[in-house]
Amino acid sequence: MTPERVAAAIEKVKTFIPPEEVDLRSAVANCHNPGLVAGMLSCVERGHPKLAVEIGTCFGFGAMMLGKVCQQVVTIDVHLDPRVQEVLAMFHVTNVAQVVVPNDAAKSILLGALDFDFAFIDGCHEQAAVALDFALTRKCRTVVFHDYWDKNPGVKSVVDSIADGVLFKGYTPFVWWTPE
């Protein structure tokens, strides 16, 4: 990502958080994936979901961004990462529930019980796992895949095999899917 795109992402983030609350330039510069900020903002701005689910929670930057534009976020992972709560607190996000599931069966039950309208898939990048996550989330009106590129052939294979709905691949490494 170019410095200009990072700067643009920071400016967009500032519309959600007053500059005196946090040093956003430092936070984004230290993010493990600054492209997440720009791509996530671009994707989420399209739908303003009420309840979003995130599958796969590394560091919590995706959950934080979702929390800024959604009424509620449920982030699901197989382990509890304390950095997620640190990131959420740093950005004053209080509407994110971090849920740890022991396996895919528990994840399936949880997702089956939730009425969500946005899903962000960034969990296990193996083909079978991505396919399962998509099968469990496609009931909502919007699914965004992360890490769609050649170095993650599982994600790329699943996305490239989707034959229904509309795919938008304009924000690499993100792909946006809607059923219509």
Write the pLDDT tens digit of every residue in 36-62: 556 556 656 666 788 999 999 888 888
Q: Which amino acid is at 80?
A: L
Smallest Cα–Cα separation from 122: which of 71, 48, 66?
66
Structural domain boundaries in the chain: 3-178
Could you give the percent of the chain with pLDDT greater than 90?
Answer: 45
Write the pLDDT tens digit of every residue in 124-142: 999 999 999 999 999 998 9
HEC letters along 134-167: HHHHCCCCCEEECCCCCCCHHHHHHHHHCCCCEE
Smallest Cα–Cα separation from 57: which of 76, 38, 85, 70?
76
Is 3.40.50.150 the CATH number for 3-178? Answer: yes
List the alpha helices (DSSP H) in 15-126.
24-30, 34-44, 61-69, 82-90, 104-113
Q: Residue 175, SS3?
A: strand
Write the pLDDT tens digit of every residue in 87-126: 899 889 999 999 999 999 999 999 999 999 999 999 999 9
Write the pLDDT tens digit of every residue in 9-32: 445 544 544 444 444 445 554 554
Report the distance separating Cα 47 and Cα 142, nearest Å.
8
